[in-house]
Amino acid sequence: MDWRKGRFLLGLMLVALNPVTAQKVALNFDGTDDYIETKYAGVSGTGARTIEAWIRTTANCDPNNGGKQKVICDYGAMSTGNRFTFNILYGNKLRIEVGGSGLMGQTVLNDGNWHHVGVSYNPSNSKAPFRLYVDGKLDTSGSIPTSVNTSSSLPLRIGNRIDNTNLFEGDIDEVRFYNVVLADSVIKAHYNQEFCKNPSNLVAYFKLNEGTASGSNSSKKTATDYSGSSNHGTLYNFSLSGSSSNWISGPSLKGGNTASSQTAFACSSYTAPSGKTYTFSGTYNDVIKNSFGCDSIISIKLTIGKVNKAYAVSGCDSFVSPAGKVYYSDGSYFETYKTWRGCDSSIRYQVSIYKSFDSTQLIEACESYTSPLGQSLKQSGLLIDTFKTVNGCDSFMRYQVSIFQPVCTYDTLVACDTAWIMGKPQTSSQSFKFVSKTWQGCDSFHYLELVMHYSQRQMETASGCQSYTSPSGQTYTSTGVYSEVFSTWQGCDSIIDYHVTIYQPVVQYDTLNACRVATLRGQTYVSDQMVTWVGKSFGGCDSTVHTLIWITKPDDAISASNDTLFAAPGADTYRWMKCSNQTLIAGATSAWYSPALDGDYAVVVSLGTCKDTSQCITIMHMGVEAWAKNWVQVVPNPSSGEAYLVSTPGQPVPEKWRVYDRSGRLIQEGRVNSRSNRLPFLPTGIYLLECEMPSGQQQSITWICQ
């Protein structure tokens, strides 16, 4: 037997003699929104059942101490007796509840360690149908007052109650569901054990081994049902990356399928532990049974040391093998040697020998020569091209090169309008190239540069005041077109057509009418007068403008006599106005006006197109006795909040009221409804309150708001 094979089998024997424990994969739930929803409907009605799981948590699950229930798994409906909820609750202990009541365990579970938990329901046991288990041992048993009648409305959920509350915070692994009641001894046997062959009556089995611990598992969103019923679960809201809300390292359980890897070597063939024989290097999976009867998968990386190979090789003039042998001709040659591990190896070389070559050529060229491989010469000399033949051998091509130079001549021809070149008329400046051959066969070049000048005719626009003198000294005194002929510096005739415009001095008279003030060319005038301006016209001639300025000044003087207002005479129109609201008084268009009511009045006078407004004059023609007639008053006055317009007993009640500010602007107005009317609330200030009586008379009151 090969010593390497014996060492490998000895390793397998040691594995078989010792119990196998494997670090499994589990699933971490973040307690916020992570859960699994399966397609398994669960045992309904009063049917017997058992649930097992592995859990680990440090969460506070006790509502009496600021915690919250953590659900391991749940299914059914949210009504009394229809829900079957396996969870951790009061005192952080195990609990089974059916929607209405439940049974508590005795062992604290939030210590951060892995625990095997289980619950069974036996409808035939009326005294203690429920049994709770922790780490393979009976934790408690008993009954609850609520009758069990589990619904099949919502399928089994892991880590979440069916009403989307009380999510599990921690790790869950190996969730198993049976449609029978398991005995205490069976529960104990299942403790710390993973199945490789499913026991009978296992109707749902979620190993939760699908992902890579703490790896990137964005595609691992399915919890496989290993019971054979294909009631697989879907992961919801898991981040599937990092050390939380993801697949993690689970509890160390005995049994289950195991995997290992080995490296093996043999010179010609290798026999695996299962008896299979391999003759080529590669990686093979060999399967045997472990001590629990589960598959033990061995990944064997095999290397076969003996080498029997053939190589097609070639060389230029000769070939040297790795062993140092030299071959000078085509043929098939064998060499035998040992590998570094002592295995015999045989290599056959199929040798092809190729030859290199060296040749010389004589080359004649004009100006320069470029070889086939891109090397260039501009003077006579030797070029050598080195290249590979089609067989990869170095070869040399030598070029003995003779370089001849072309002949070049240059001329310039200056002409006016037209030149004859090679019997053809040319009318524009351009370059000509004439080519001929030297006696060595190189091109001979004659370059002719033709410079063409032209007779010119151009048009100029000119103007002057009374006359215009051209650059040549010709003087023109009337508007017209005049032509002058002369030679350019190149000797060509040129014609200039002058379009001449002759301007004459201008004298102009204007009239400017204005109201009170006139502005002319930036100057201000307040009286009638003649203004003369002298400047340049469009053609540059002296121009004189005489402007007669007429100032119209309406007389806005106003006086009062015996309660009658008089405007200054001489205006075209008169319009009297009330200053308090800046409104014109209908019908008041005479040069005098007698107001019926006290107040401030002014007159608007116009003369021609000019208009002006006089100052305001106050009329109080009613006298002291009239002011004593107070029909209304403001109470209180001054006021700092609400104020009322109160009619004096025995006096008429006004019809309207208006409030003006100190600038005479109307603020508010309203109608009087009774002898006492509430006035509007106004900001701090002094206001004029005007009341209009049924007789048309008015009373004004100064109202102070503070």
pLDDT in tens, 177-198: 999 999 999 999 888 877 778 8
Percent of the chain with pLDDT over 70: 92
In this predicted model, what pLDDT tens digit does every residue of 71-122 receive, in sequence order?
A: 999 999 999 999 999 999 999 999 999 988 999 999 999 999 999 999 999 9
Q: Which of 552, 570, 588 is the last residue of a domain?
A: 552
Instruction: Give the type of residue at 215.
Output: G
Question: What does the alpha-carbon distance between residue 229 and residue 204 come to, in Å, rounded to a whole number?
Answer: 7
pLDDT at position 290: 61
Looking at per-residue confidence, does 408 or 243 come out higher? 243
What residues contact residue 692 under an 8 Å CB cut-off, 6+ apart? 654, 655, 656, 657, 658, 698
pLDDT at position 174: 94
**Mean residue pLDDT across the chain:** 85
pLDDT at residue 322 tops 70: yes
Confidence grade of residue 139 (pLDDT, cut at 50, 70, 90): very high
pLDDT at residue 18 tops 70: no
Asked if residue 266 and residue 121 are part of one domain, the reply reads: no
What is the residue-wise DSSP string for 244-269? SSSEEEEEEEEES-EEEEEEEEESS-
What residues contact residue 60 under an 8 Å CB cut-off, 6+ apart? 66, 67, 68, 92, 110
CB-based contact 80:67 (threshold 8 Å): no
Per residue, what are the HEC states of 406-435? CEEEEEEEEEECCEEECCEEECCCEEEEEE
Q: Which of 200-209, 428-437, 438-447, 574-583 has the lowest mean pLDDT?
A: 438-447
CB-based contact 632:645 (threshold 8 Å): yes
Q: What is the DSSP letter of 11?
A: H
What is the residue-wise DSSP string for 73-130? EEEE-SSTTTEEEEEE-GGGEEEEE-SS-EEEEEEE--SSS-EEEEEEE-TT-SS--E
What residues contact residue 245 under an 8 Å CB cut-off, 6+ apart? 28, 29, 30, 34, 237, 238, 239
CATH number at residue 673: 2.60.40.1930
Asked if residue 330 and residue 239 are part of one domain, the reply reads: no
Residue 333 resides in a domain: yes
Tokens describing residue 8: 């490998």
Residue showing tokens 């149908």: 129
pLDDT at position 296: 64
Q: Which of 40, 12, 8, 13 is nearest to 206 (CA)?
A: 40
Confidence grade of residue 249 (pLDDT, cut at 50, 70, 90): very high
Q: Which of 369, 385, 404 is the last residue of a domain?
A: 404
Question: What does the alpha-carbon distance between residue 219 and residue 207 come to, in Å, rounded to a whole number?
Answer: 18
pLDDT at residue 443 tops 70: yes
Asked if residue 671 and residue 590 are part of one domain, the reply reads: no
In this predicted model, what pLDDT tens digit does every residue of 495-521 receive, in sequence order?
A: 888 888 888 888 888 888 888 888 888
CB-based contact 92:105 (threshold 8 Å): no
pLDDT at position 535: 77
Residue 302 resides in a domain: no
Percent of the chain with pLDDT over 90: 32
Question: What does the alpha-carbon distance between residue 341 and residue 306 come to, in Å, rounded to a whole number?
Answer: 9
Helix (H, G, I), strand (E, B) or coil at 300: strand
Question: What does the alpha-carbon distance between residue 612 and residue 605 come to, in Å, rounded to a whole number?
Answer: 6
Confidence grade of residue 34 (pLDDT, cut at 50, 70, 90): very high
Asked if residue 204 and residue 105 are part of one domain, the reply reads: yes
pLDDT at position 121: 98
Integer-rounded Cα Rg, in Å, for the chain is 61
Asked if residue 233 and residue 285 are part of one domain, the reply reads: no
Q: Which of 465, 488, 503 is the last residue of a domain?
A: 503
pLDDT at position 133: 98
**Residue 34 is part of which domain span?**
23-254
pTM of this prediction exceeds 0.85: no
Strand ranges in 466-591 using DSSP code E only, listed in sequence order: 468-469, 475-476, 480-487, 493-503, 506-515, 518-520, 523-525, 529-536, 542-552, 558-561, 564-567, 573-578, 583-584
Asked if residue 150 and residue 119 are part of one domain, the reply reads: yes
pLDDT at residue 375 tops 60: yes
Q: Which of 659, 678, 677, 679 is nearest to 669 (CA)?
A: 659
Question: What does the alpha-carbon distance between residue 658 and residue 663 come to, in Å, rounded to a whole number?
Answer: 14
Residue 624 resides in a domain: no
Question: What does the alpha-carbon distance between residue 14 and residue 266 come to, in Å, rounded to a whole number?
Answer: 22
Looking at per-residue confidence, does 69 or 539 come out higher? 69
Residue 493 resides in a domain: yes
> How crowded is the C-beta side of 307, counted as CA atoms within 13 Å?
15
Asked if residue 138 and residue 76 are part of one domain, the reply reads: yes
pLDDT at position 74: 97
Cα dihedral across residues 579, 583, 586, 591: positive or negative:
positive
Asked if residue 647 and residue 614 are part of one domain, the reply reads: no
pLDDT at residue 10 tops 60: no
Chain length of the chain: 706
Question: What does the alpha-carbon distance between residue 552 and residue 575 come to, in Å, rounded to a whole number?
Answer: 19
Looking at per-residue confidence, does 660 or 148 come out higher? 148
Looking at per-residue confidence, does 178 or 17 come out higher? 178
In this predicted model, what pLDDT tens digit does every residue of 573-612 receive, in sequence order?
A: 999 899 988 889 888 888 878 787 888 889 898 988 888 8
Asked if residue 155 and residue 79 are part of one domain, the reply reads: yes
Q: What is the DSSP letter of 563?
A: T
pLDDT at residue 323 tops 90: no
Mean pLDDT of all residues in 59-65 = 97
Asked if residue 81 and residue 210 are part of one domain, the reply reads: yes
Mean pLDDT of all residues in 347-354 = 86
Residue 301 resides in a domain: no
Number of domains in the chain: 9
Mean pLDDT of all residues in 266-274 = 82
Q: What is the DSSP letter of 558?
A: E
Hey, how many other C-beta atoms are within 10 angstroms of the C-beta on 485?
11
pLDDT at residue 260 tops 80: no
Residue 9 resides in a domain: yes
pLDDT at position 50: 97
Hey, how many other C-beta atoms are within 10 angstroms of the C-beta on 334?
9
Mean pLDDT of all residues in 348-362 = 83
pLDDT at position 665: 82
Tokens describing residue 373: 């491989």
Q: Which of 256-260, 645-649, 677-681 has the lowest mean pLDDT?
A: 256-260
Number of separate helices (H) and strands (E) present in the chain? 3, 62
CB-based contact 249:23 (threshold 8 Å): yes
pLDDT at position 295: 62
pLDDT at position 518: 85
CB-based contact 685:705 (threshold 8 Å): yes
CB-based contact 128:138 (threshold 8 Å): no
Residue showing tokens 């370089």: 403
Question: What does the alpha-carbon distance between residue 151 and residue 173 come to, in Å, rounded to a whole number?
Answer: 25
Residue 571 resides in a domain: yes
Asked if residue 109 and residue 198 are part of one domain, the reply reads: yes
Q: Which of 8-22, 150-164, 178-192, 211-225 has the lowest mean pLDDT?
A: 8-22
Residue 324 resides in a domain: yes
Asked if residue 492 and residue 533 are part of one domain, the reply reads: no
